[in-house]
Amino acid sequence: MTGAQALVAVPQSNGSPKAYTSNIANAGTQLAESNISYPHSKLSATHTNGEVTIYASLNLPIGTTSLVHLWQDGPMSGTAPQAHAMSSANQQSKESLDLTSGVTQQGSGGGSLSRRRNTHGILNAVSWGVLMPLGAVIARYLKVFKSADPAWFYLHVTCQTAAYIVGVAGWGTGLKLGSDSVGVTYSTHRALGITLFCLGTLQVFALLLRPNKDHKIRIYWNFYHWAIGYATIIISIINIFKGFNALEVSAGDRYDNWKHAYTGIIAALGGIAVLLEAYTWIIVIKRKKSENKFSQGMNGTNGANGYGSRPQQV
């Protein structure tokens, strides 16, 4: 686990395990020997009857009453330890130790973290990853249909507002997860999340400051709204997959079904957008042709000189 202060024991050719400490800085750790946060002494290890036992005395910060204890074992490649398995048993190999009573609680804290992680993922996938693109599809294609005016606008605003509110809640859970996971850092995922919050907030202010259709700066507002909106959608989809990658690092393949489901939803929205793009262009082209014919018919009836289509009598 990233951020863990590990006591490690590896077998040696003489049969006695070597004990050392390792500060796990990332999920791809090779468990290289390094200092840990806690001063320690009397570090040793024994290998008896197929079991390895590590002994050490740790000096914990004043006021520490409990700690989370994790343990793992894994294969060796020569003298280098390799990654442990990601089975259910490995996922649950942790306990909370009450230092005042000596009582342990199996798996304590893991369930809460998992629930918060799931909540964070669901809120953000639904808001930034589904509602936001859906709102863009509504705005781009429904407004082509005259019968959908002004309903498309209110649907668009409702969809984007709901996406922003739920997305902010998901963003907040992410910040809380980050603060509670000391030593666990997903820099790109975090930076993209903050960027999304800023872009979403800009869109909210843009809605409040929207000029009238005939205002001279409306064209600039339209471009701003379009650019920020599509940038938000692209970044949100990228960041959701960054989140899935983070889950794979911390929880293995347990969330593959989530990833596949979201991929299917985005693919479906993309397919619908492609079909609507073609269909609405056909409607627009037919409408323009019809308007041109009507305009030419009016000119033929009224005459270019304003006296009608009949020739003038002299």
Q: Which residues fall in the annotated binding site for heme b? A: 120, 156, 189, 225
Tokens of 175: 């910040």
CA 141 to chain centre: 26
Interatomic CA distance for residues 265 and 263, integer angstroms? 6
How crowded is the C-beta side of 207, counted as CA atoms within 13 Å? 14
- Nearest alpha carbon to residue 239 among 171, 161, 138, 139: 171
Annotated binding site: which residue ranges?
120, 156, 189, 225
Interatomic CA distance for residues 249 and 117, integer angstroms? 13
Phi/psi at 112 (nearest 5 deg)?
Answer: -65, -45
Q: What angle do CA 146, 148, 151 make, to 5 degrees?
A: 135
Tokens of 308: 């009608």
How crowded is the C-beta side of 128, counted as CA atoms within 13 Å? 33
DSSP string, 255-276: THHHHHHHHHHHHHHHHHHHHH
